[in-house]
């Protein structure tokens, strides 16, 4: 047994209890990680435990008897004094522990640290003692700071990601809108193309009959009426032609061209068309890439854009025409409409009235116009069709009251590629003089298709279901330049027989035969020796080349 215990035996129970409490207290003081400091009424340090030594860096002996102020940074002295004074006078004998305050402590080496302090007062009677418990919260503060920083970073990342998602969904929305618009235009094209084609045929009949009638009428007044009807029918034909351009069904004659040259060529004309109150500025790209397009259609397009601009600037303004090399990436919204790649852009900007969103949405529709009584609504739609058929695209940016920019994109053609592409698929020889071709085909449906294909190459077409009808037509129509006949024509005379007749009676008319049979089965290497024969099935290019070369054979 230890001596202490033996000693206790000699004491009374109360004394033994209090002595045990003291040693418990001593143990607590020794092992507590917090600083536990006792102060007397003058706030001098009377106890300073091991935790306090660790936290403040003082040895116990160095601070016992000194004012607690040595442990507090100067600037807090007065506040601390006040606090203790109010605490002492508050009449509360023993405050609950746990009422912690955040303070700063001062170490022996002069450094400060954040701390949490609790203070309590002992000894209601007699001299009062303050017990102070101080906990160094440097680490906790650092973790808190770290945590709030990483929270902030996390939040920033979340915000960034949200913004990216929003951007992505907006991009998708735009792409979807572009797709819907493209589908709409496609549907318009289908519809318009069909109607325009039928209409054109009707007009051709009207015009043809008027011509025949004119030849028979001698009376002046009647002739005048006929001429007016012809004029109106021709105007109708011009309109339907523009519709066919919109529907991409009109043969274009694309050539390799430099859009800068073309712009310079029409600048004078535009200046005159715009009038004095509108200034025209052209900004042409240096080293503009070459493109392939129908030059007269391109001129038409730019003139139409300039006229639209003039209409939008009744009091005058500025018109800017720019050319530029542009590369369209796969992520560009416009790549929905035309393949990614290199294009030349022709941009026409005005400072006019601009378009409302509703007008903008419908501007490319054929017949859409806001110029009641003056407009046809065929300007932009024709340009749209031309651009699409040329492998390009057209866009409008416009804001009501802020002017309009229309940009025409046409595909780049490499100079070397251009030189080499003499026989590429997109350069089929088109009709040079709108020659008339008589198509002889006994299958009506097939005949219609052949007629359309030949018409699309720029020729004027006529048709006959058999050889005798063809001969009748050849005798009546002096304009027929070529007979394009199937070799097998039902039960009557064959295409070959028809060819022989033409040779005998109309030697100036060229003959091109076609057959679905291999040459020997159709009975004739003989035929091929005498006439040009195009074998079915043939491509658009095969047809174009055969027509072109037959027409031009024997000319030299």
User: What b/e sequence results for 171-190 when a residue is b if at least 16 CB atoms lie within 10 Å of its CB, and e otherwise?
Assistant: eeeebeebeeeeeebeebbe
181 is a contact residue toward ligand ADP (CB under 6 A): no
Q: Which does 349 bind (CB under 5 to 8 A by kind): ligand ADP, Mg ion, none?
A: none
Q: Which does 201 bind (CB under 5 to 8 A by kind): ligand ADP, Mg ion, none?
A: none
| Region of 30-38, 40-48, 375-383, 424-432 interacting with ligand ADP (CB under 6 A) | 375-383
DSSP string, 1-45: --HHHHHHHTS-HHHHHHHHHHHHHHHHHHH-SSEEEEE-TT-BE
Q: Which does 309 bind (CB under 5 to 8 A by kind): ligand ADP, Mg ion, none?
A: ligand ADP
Residue 383: half-sphere exposure toward Cβ, Cα within 13 Å: 27
Q: Are 495 and 517 in contact (CB under 8 A)?
A: no
DSSP string, 398-413: E-TTS-EEEEEEEEEE
Binding string, residues 291-330; x marks residues near Mg ion by CB under 5 A: -----------------x----------------------
* Residue of this chain nearest to ligand ADP (CB atom): 379
363 is a contact residue toward ligand ADP (CB under 6 A): yes
Q: Which does 519 bind (CB under 5 to 8 A by kind): ligand ADP, Mg ion, none?
A: none
How many residues touch Mg ion (CB under 5 A)?
A: 2
Spatial separation of the C-alpha atoms in residues 433 and 28, rounded to whole Å: 115
458 is a contact residue toward Mg ion (CB under 5 A): no
Q: List binders of Mg ion among 364-393 (CB under 5 A).
A: 379
Between helix 220-246 and helix 138-216 the angle, nearest 10°, is: 160
Tokens of residue 273, six digits: 């068309």
C-alpha pair distances (Å), 316 with each of 46, 74, 270, 319: 96, 78, 14, 9
Q: Are 128 and 121 in contact (CB under 8 A)?
A: yes
Q: Which does 369 bind (CB under 5 to 8 A by kind): Mg ion, ligand ADP, none?
A: ligand ADP
Min CB(240)–Mg ion separation in Å: 17
Compute φ and ψ for 320, nearest 5 degrees.
Answer: -120, 130
How many residues touch ligand ADP (CB under 6 A)?
A: 22
369 is a contact residue toward ligand ADP (CB under 6 A): yes
Residue 94 CB contacts under 8 Å (≥ 6 apart), including other chains: 120, 121, 122, 124
Q: Which does 387 bind (CB under 5 to 8 A by kind): Mg ion, ligand ADP, none?
A: none
Min CB(404)–ligand ADP separation in Å: 4
- Pick 303 or 488: Cβ nearer ligand ADP: 303
- Pick 300 or 463: Cβ nearer Mg ion: 300
189 is a contact residue toward ligand ADP (CB under 6 A): no
Spatial separation of the C-alpha atoms in residues 385 and 147, rounded to whole Å: 61
- Pick 69 or 370: Cβ nearer ligand ADP: 370
Min CB(379)–ligand ADP separation in Å: 2
Q: Are 387 and 409 in contact (CB under 8 A)?
A: yes
Spatial separation of the C-alpha atoms in residues 188 and 198, rounded to whole Å: 16
Spatial separation of the C-alpha atoms in residues 499 and 534, rounded to whole Å: 14
- Pick 57 or 236: Cβ nearer ligand ADP: 236
Mapping DSSP onto H, E and C, the string for 72-125 reads CCHHHHHHHHHHHHHHHHCCCCCCCCCCCEEEEEECCCCCEEEEEEEEEEECCC
| Interacting residue with ligand ADP among 404, 407, 466, 514 (CB under 6 A) | 404
Min CB(307)–Mg ion separation in Å: 6
Min CB(185)–ligand ADP separation in Å: 13
381 is a contact residue toward ligand ADP (CB under 6 A): yes
Q: List binders of ligand ADP among 312-341 (CB under 6 A).
A: 312
Binding string, residues 335-364; x marks residues near Mg ion by CB under 5 A: ------------------------------
376 is a contact residue toward ligand ADP (CB under 6 A): yes
- Pick 284 or 396: Cβ nearer Mg ion: 396
Residue 466 CB contacts under 8 Å (≥ 6 apart), including other chains: 440, 442, 489, 490, 492, 493
Min CB(379)–Mg ion separation in Å: 3
Dihedral (Cα; 498, 503, 507, 509), 10-degree rounding: 30
Min CB(164)–ligand ADP separation in Å: 36
Spatial separation of the C-alpha atoms in residues 195 and 244, rounded to whole Å: 9
Spatial separation of the C-alpha atoms in residues 407 and 409, rounded to whole Å: 6
Min CB(253)–ligand ADP separation in Å: 23
- Pick 106 or 309: Cβ nearer ligand ADP: 309
394 is a contact residue toward ligand ADP (CB under 6 A): no
Q: Which does 359 bind (CB under 5 to 8 A by kind): ligand ADP, Mg ion, none?
A: ligand ADP
Dihedral (Cα; 247, 253, 257, 262), 10-degree rounding: -70
Min CB(407)–ligand ADP separation in Å: 12
Q: List binders of ligand ADP among 14-73 (CB under 6 A).
A: none
Q: Are 397 and 404 in contact (CB under 8 A)?
A: yes
| Region of 238-246, 319-327, 368-376, 496-504 interacting with ligand ADP (CB under 6 A) | 368-376
- Pick 353 or 485: Cβ nearer ligand ADP: 353
Min CB(360)–ligand ADP separation in Å: 8
Min CB(195)–ligand ADP separation in Å: 18
Spatial separation of the C-alpha atoms in residues 207 and 227, rounded to whole Å: 10
Tell me the Cα Rg of the chain.
Answer: 49
DSSP string, 130-144: EEEEEEE-HHHHHHH
Other CB atoms within 10 A of residue 540 CB: 13
Binding residues (CB under 6 A) for ligand ADP: these are 308-309, 312, 350, 352-355, 359, 363, 368-371, 375-381, 404
Binding residues (CB under 5 A) for Mg ion: these are 308, 379
């Amino acid at each position: 047994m230890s001596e202490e215990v033996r000693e206790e035996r000699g004491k009374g129970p109360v004394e033994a209890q209090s002595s045990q409490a003291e040693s418990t207290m001593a143990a607590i003081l020794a092992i507590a990680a917090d600083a536990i400091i006792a102060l007397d009424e003058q706030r001098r340090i009377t106890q300073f435990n091991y935790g306090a030594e660790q936290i403040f860096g003082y040895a116990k002996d160095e601070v016992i008897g000194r004012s607690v102020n040595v442990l507090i940074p100067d600037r807090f002295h007065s506040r601390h004094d006040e606090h203790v004074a109010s605490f002492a006078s508050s009449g509360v004998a023993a405050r609950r522990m746990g009422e912690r305050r955040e303070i700063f402590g001062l170490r022996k080496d002069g450094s400060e640290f954040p701390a949490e302090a609790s203070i309590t007062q002992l000894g209601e009677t007699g001299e009062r003692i303050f017990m102070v418990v101080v906990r160094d919260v440097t680490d906790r503060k650092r973790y808190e700071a770290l945590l709030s920083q990483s929270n902030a970073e996390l939040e920033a990342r979340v915000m960034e990601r949200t913004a990216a998602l929003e951007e992505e969904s907006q991009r998708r929305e735009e792409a979807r809108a572009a797709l819907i618009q493209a589908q709409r235009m496609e549907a318009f094209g289908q519809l318009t193309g069909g109607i325009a084609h039928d209409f054109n045929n009707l007009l051709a009949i009207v015009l043809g009959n008027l011509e025949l009638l004119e030849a028979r009428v001698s009376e002046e007044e009647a002739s005048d009426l006929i001429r007016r009807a012809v004029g109106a029918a021709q105007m109708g034909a011009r309109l339907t032609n523009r519709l066919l351009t919109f529907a991409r069904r009109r043969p274009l004659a694309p050539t390799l061209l430099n859009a800068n040259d073309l712009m310079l060529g029409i600048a004078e004309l535009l200046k005159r068309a715009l009038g004095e109150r509108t200034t025209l500025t052209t900004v042409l790209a240096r080293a503009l890439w070459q493109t392939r397009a129908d030059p007269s259609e391109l001129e038409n397009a730019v003139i139409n854009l300039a006229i639209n601009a003039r209409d939008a600037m009744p009091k005058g303004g500025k018109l800017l025409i720019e050319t530029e090399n542009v590369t369209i990436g796969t992520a560009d919204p416009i790549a929905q409409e035309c393949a990614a790649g290199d294009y030349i852009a022709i941009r026409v900007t005005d400072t006019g009235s601009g378009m409302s969103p509703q007008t903008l949405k419908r501007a490319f529709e054929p017949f859409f116009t806001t110029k009641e009584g003056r407009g046809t609504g065929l300007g932009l739609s024709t340009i749209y069709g031309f651009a699409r058929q040329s492998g390009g695209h057209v866009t409008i940016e416009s804001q009501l009251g802020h002017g309009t920019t229309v940009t025409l994109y046409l595909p780049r053609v490499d100079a070397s590629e251009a030189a080499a592409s003499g026989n590429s698929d997109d350069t089929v020889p088109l009709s040079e003089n709108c020659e008339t071709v008589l198509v002889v085909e006994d299958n009506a449906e097939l005949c219609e298709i052949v007629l359309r294909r030949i018409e699309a190459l720029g020729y004027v077409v006529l048709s006959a279901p058999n050889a005798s009808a063809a001969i009748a037509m050849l005798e009546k129509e002096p304009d027929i330049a070529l007979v394009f006949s199937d070799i097998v024509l039902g039960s009557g005379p064959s295409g070959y027989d028809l060819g022989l007749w033409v040779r005998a009676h109309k030697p100036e008319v060229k003959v091109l035969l076609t057959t679905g049979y291999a040459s020997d089965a159709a009975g004739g290497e003989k035929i091929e020796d005498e006439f040009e024969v195009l074998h079915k099935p043939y491509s658009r290019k095969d047809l174009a080349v055969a027509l072109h070369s037959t027409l031009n054979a024997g000319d030299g």
